[in-house]
Amino acid sequence: MFLKLAEQQYADLSILPQVDEALARWKIAPAYEYWLTRMRSTDRPWPAQRSAMIALGIAGVKAAADDLRRKVEDNARPDHERIIAAQALARIDTTGLVLVSQTLAGRGTIINRLLASELLQHHTQADALTFLQKLAMDDEPAVAQLAVDRLLALAPANIPHDLASRLLQRDDAALRLTAVKALLAQATSQSIALASPSLKDVNYTVRRTAREGLGRLGLEGGLHEPVVSGVRGVLHQSDWQGLEQAAYLVGALDDEASSDRVVELLRHARPEVRLAACVALRRLQMTDTLPIALKRLEELHEHYKNTGMETYGDLGEFSTQFATGAECTQLYQLLGRMKYAPAQPIMRRVVPKGSFEVQSRAAAIWALGFLHEGQADGQLAGQLSGRLSDVMSLEPEDTNVRMMSAVTLGRMKAQSALSVLNRFMQEEISSREIGGSCRWAIMQITGEELPPLPPSIERNLDWFLAPIE
């Protein structure tokens, strides 16, 4: 009765699907006959019939199977009706639809092949899996995707290597992505060898998924050698997409043997590859690369003077300053963490405001803290105190530069900066970036633990809950 009232009261039927689904999940048996009647009716609006079929499928009402099967097999019915019927029937009959699926696929049309895949979405028997593997190679991506999704959901091994290899050659990125996921989940030396070339896939999601999965297997899955081997294969090819992903993995997997190739990529034409190479060097932290990193840093500083735009094919115009700054940021971190003293002059050169790209300046100031760790430099401390205090000028200092200035003052234990640090700890006590950095720096300099901060109070007068009094 409630369903009838709901259907009559809401002319747009906006609430009916929610009501039907809830009752179906609760398996309210008195509703079954109502849904069957509504599904069989020829004068009910399509949304009402659709909702009934979905509910019958969710509830697993076997009495609806024959009606749904007739709808699925009827070529004269609208495609959308047949698809909903197939999805509902697949939920109800999870063992006996292989022959129906094969018959539909044999009709040849895309809609019938799509229905064939839909019908097997809840089957687990061997004959169903075999036919799904056949459907996975369908020329229509929508048909193939339904099949491979079901195969992967049951077990990655259901997508054997020969099938995965063929899927990786498809034009459809979603199919290639599913193949990569299956190969990574299988986690064998052979599957890694098949998945590694996907690091150079033209689709970013596919190649990123390959990189992240290979990285996990190399670090945690006990498959370091096969992963490194696959990465090296891509690293010595020419596709910029693969070079970028492989360079990131060289750093993540600590593959020092590939450092020479990474150094070559520091001057690649694509900014993505150059940045990945810088990240890899930062992670490898190899002493013999430090002079090379410094030389490249000096080249980038010279290049930064060109403030125009460059064109990188599909990227269009790309800011040289942005690209240069991102690369310098990584190299500054490397030289700082390795405490490479010859890099100090170029780092100090970018402390003044406006001297270089702001994120690079923040990284250089952070790196200076390691070069002067525990040994305060009066001149540098004065400069950094000035950067921290630059809040009232027409163009105030960048927040990250101020934060790293405070951190470096603390790391080099600059006693002369305590008053400035105390001031901004108090003035920006609620700021994790500035107040928190100043607080940390003070504790580093004094060696004393400061008391915990009091909880902050935030007032929201428009919140939906408010006290009566």
**CATH number assigned to the domain comprising residue 393:** 1.25.10
Residue 407 inside a domain? The answer is yes
- Pull the structure tokens for residue 269: 């034409």
pLDDT at residue 464 in the model:
73
CA–CA distance from 443 to each of 258, 323, 425, 437, 438 (Å)? 41, 36, 12, 10, 9
Residue 463 inside a domain? The answer is no
Q: How far apart (Å, rounded) are the C-alpha atoms in residues 295 and 3?
A: 75
Residue ranges, the chain, pLDDT below 50: 6, 9-11, 309, 317
pLDDT at residue 117 in the model:
99
pLDDT at residue 14 in the model:
81
Residue 443 inside a domain? The answer is yes
Q: How far apart (Å, rounded) are the C-alpha atoms in residues 465 and 181?
A: 45
Residue 412 inside a domain? The answer is yes
Residue 458 inside a domain? The answer is no
- Pull the structure tokens for residue 405: 């200035």
Residue 402 inside a domain? The answer is yes
Residue-wise pLDDT tens digits, 163-218: 999 999 999 999 999 999 999 999 999 999 999 999 999 999 999 999 999 999 99
Q: How many CB atoms lie within 10 A of CB 465?
A: 5
Contact 414, 404 (CB under 8 A): no
pLDDT at residue 11 in the model:
45
Q: Give the chain's end-to-end CA distance (angstroms, integer).
A: 44
pLDDT at residue 314 in the model:
54
Residue 428 inside a domain? The answer is yes
Q: How many CB atoms lie within 10 A of CB 8?
A: 8
Domain hosting residue 382, numbered range: 372-448
Domain count, the chain: 1
Contact 277, 263 (CB under 8 A): yes
Question: Nearest 5 degrees, angle CA 100-CA 144-CA 80?
Answer: 60
pLDDT at residue 8 in the model:
53
Residue 271 inside a domain? The answer is no
